[in-house]
Structure 1
């Protein structure tokens, strides 16, 4: 009986040990599986982060690569604008040059028109030559209302006549000797005999009144000798 009991106990212990071994194997297997799962998950997370960082780096790199292109485009636009501006400035300069040339041509034409017409002789035998200029203009006036010719040295009308004589001959009124100033043979006309102080060259100047504008030279006769001395 005792032998049978010992055998029974031995069998029981064997089964317990066997179960423990199986349990340990299962637990160890589970631990290994868990460790593997943890490793796989950690690897996936780490690898995913690396890919995300790499993707961001790629995006940044693409933006950086695109930025110079944008700068180049901006530079091209700026160059185009500068080219257009330079072209406009050249056009403006060319237009100004053309206008200047036209103005010079007009000025030259005016000078040609302003050339006096000189003819030999004149209204009498004492006239050396007669000078006329279609570009002569009235000298202006401070008078208003109906004009009356006044041959008085203190009158405004007289002083404006002297201005007309000076304008026609180029002799300064302050350096002029007036030998005669009288009626020109018709209303609102006058004729003066003048010379530059200290000079024997004498001129007979014919002028005509223009309402609101003053006295205007008509012709200048250079005299052979001063017939009013």
Structure 2
């Protein structure tokens, strides 16, 4: 009887162990299937995803690129702007240097009647009301004549109304230039003044010769 009990106990143990193994194996299979399913969904989802559309830059009909979506940035414009800025800076520096420069005075001049010659880098154009193509006009009723007088009086530092004009003529050797012989009223000192037209800015004194005698005084 004891033998029958032992065999019965062993049978129940084997059955229980077999059942446990079956459950464990089933769980392992379920876990493996779940892992495979998750992995498949990840990889399959990544492969099936549609690529995001790339946003193309807007094109303007006026940019002249033929719909390429890229605006032209012409190097020429940048280069021209740089050159213009450089020219303006150079002009400003030159003007500043001229303003600080002292007048250059030399003995003698263009003729034996010249005592000394004065050239001042600080001289500037006197301004103008004229527009269009310019021509030196020696008619004393013209605007050009009045502006020449402005430049002459500026050169000898005398008010135009307090200046006597002994002679004023076109400089035939230099286009846009004129030469005048003037003196301050009440003074015996006469000057020969050379002036030059600057487009859009008026006449500018170039040189003043201090005369020994007034060779235009009648």
What is the TM-score with the length of structure 1 in the denominator? 0.51
- CA spacing shift, 1:111–1:184, aligned 2, 3 Å: closer
Residues 165-214 of structure 1: CA deviation (Å, up to 9, x unaligned):
11111011001100000012322000000001111000000000000000
Counterpart residue number, 1:175: 162
Counterpart residue number, 2:142: 155
Counterpart residue number, 1:120: 107
Q: Say how many residue pairs are matched.
A: 122
Query: CA offset at residue 223 of structure 1?
Result: 0.1
What is the TM-score with the length of structure 2 in the denominator? 0.53
Query: Runs of 4+ in structure 1 displaced over 3 angstroms?
Result: 109-112
Q: Secondary structure at the match of 1:181?
A: strand
Q: How does 1:51-200 map to 2 (within 5 A)?
A: 113-185=100-172, 186-200=174-188
Counterpart residue number, 1:36: none
Counterpart residue number, 1:100: none
Query: CA offset at residue 110 of structure 1?
Result: 6.3
Q: Which has the larger radius of gyration?
A: 1
| RMSD of Structure 2 on Structure 1 (CA) | 1.8
Residues 90-139 of structure 1: CA deviation (Å, up to 9, x unaligned):
xxxxxxxxxxxxxxxxxxx8697342110000000000000001111100
What are the ranges of 5 or more consecutive residues in structure 1 without an aligned counterpart?
A: 1-108
